[in-house]
Amino acid sequence: QYGGKEVLEQAIPAVLEGHLAVQEVLFDVKEAEVLVQEKASSKLLCRHPYPTISCVGRCTWSSRIFAFCVASSPESPDGSTFDCLVFASSSEQECEEIVGRIAAGFKHTEWFV
C-alpha cells in the first residue's frame, strides 16, 4: 500500500517471480504520460499519466531492468494501493534514458496539474 521508491527493491523480484507471460512492448514516454503498447499489434496495453506514477527506478542487480509503481485505486477512501510494472530494456543505456525521462516527467506535470 506504499508506492515509494523503497518498495522497488522488494517489488521487482516479487513481480518477476510471479512468472507472468513476457511480452515485447513499445514503451513511449510522452510529455504528460507513459504509454505501453504491444509490439506486434501496437495495441495499447496501458496508459499512465504522471500524477498516477508514484516512483520509478532501476533494478539494483540488473542494469537493464526498471520498474515504476502506479496508483491502482487513487479514489479509494482507504488511500491508494499500487501496482508495480516491471520492464527489461535492450541495454543499460536505454534503461537509464527511460528512467530519466519518466523522472523528468514528474517535474513537467507540475505545469499540467
**How many Å separate Cα 101 from the centre of its chain?**
11
Any idea what the CATH number is for the domain that residue 61 is in?
A: 2.30.29.30
Round to whole Å and give the CA distance between 64 and 87.
8
pTM of the predicted structure, to 2 decimals: 0.82
Question: What is the per-residue pLDDT across 16-56, written as a single tens digit (0 to 9) for each?
Answer: 898 777 889 999 999 889 999 999 999 999 999 988 888 89
Give the structural domain span for 87: 5-109
Q: What integer is the mean pLDDT of 3-23?
A: 83
What integer pLDDT is reported at residue 22 of this predicted model?
83
What amino acid occupies position 91? S
**Domains identified in the chain, total number:** 1
